[in-house]
Structure formats: structure tokens, C-alpha cells
Amino acid sequence: MGRIKTSKVKRITLELVKSNPDVFIDNFDENKRLVEGFLDSGAKKIRNPVAGYVTRIIKKKKLFA
């Protein structure tokens, strides 16, 4: 089983994906740099889970599109 994402991570991620749908891709490292630019705080503790969840959402969209 995977790690469970907190509601804060999910909320931030969904807001970012909704407001910038064409910016993110299915590459974690690139998404990590993009998320760092969008978030005010550069804390790794929030940035990495958000970037991972963004990557997961984008991969799912491509799979079902």
C-alpha cells in the first residue's frame, strides 16, 4: 500500500492542477520545480508530496484521455 496524502496536500494539488492545467507533465522532477515556483514556501515537506500527487493526477488523465 502507498502512503496516504493529507487533505492539505490534496487541496493544494487540485487547486494547482485546476488553475494551471497545461503546465504540469508526467515527470516528477519537472513538476517539483514547477510546484516550487507556484508555492509561497519552498518547504520540501509540502513540495515533494504535492509534486508527486500532481504527477499521479497527470498520469491518470493521460491514461483515461
| Fold classification of 7-64 (topology level) | Diphtheria Toxin Repressor; domain 2 (1.10.60)
Give the C-alpha separation, 65 to 48, whole Å.
Answer: 26
pLDDT tens-digit series, residues 22-63: 999 999 999 999 999 999 877 889 999 999 999 999 999 999
Give this prediction's pTM.
0.89
What pLDDT score was predicted for residue 1? Answer: 65
Q: Specify the DSSP class assigned to residue 1.
A: -
Three-class SS string for 13-36? Answer: HHHHHHHCCCCCCCCHHHHHHHHH
Residue 9 confidence (pLDDT): 94
d(CA 65, CA 44): 31
pLDDT tens digits, one per residue of 19-29: 998 999 999 99
Short-list 49, 32, 47, 42, CA closest to 23: 32
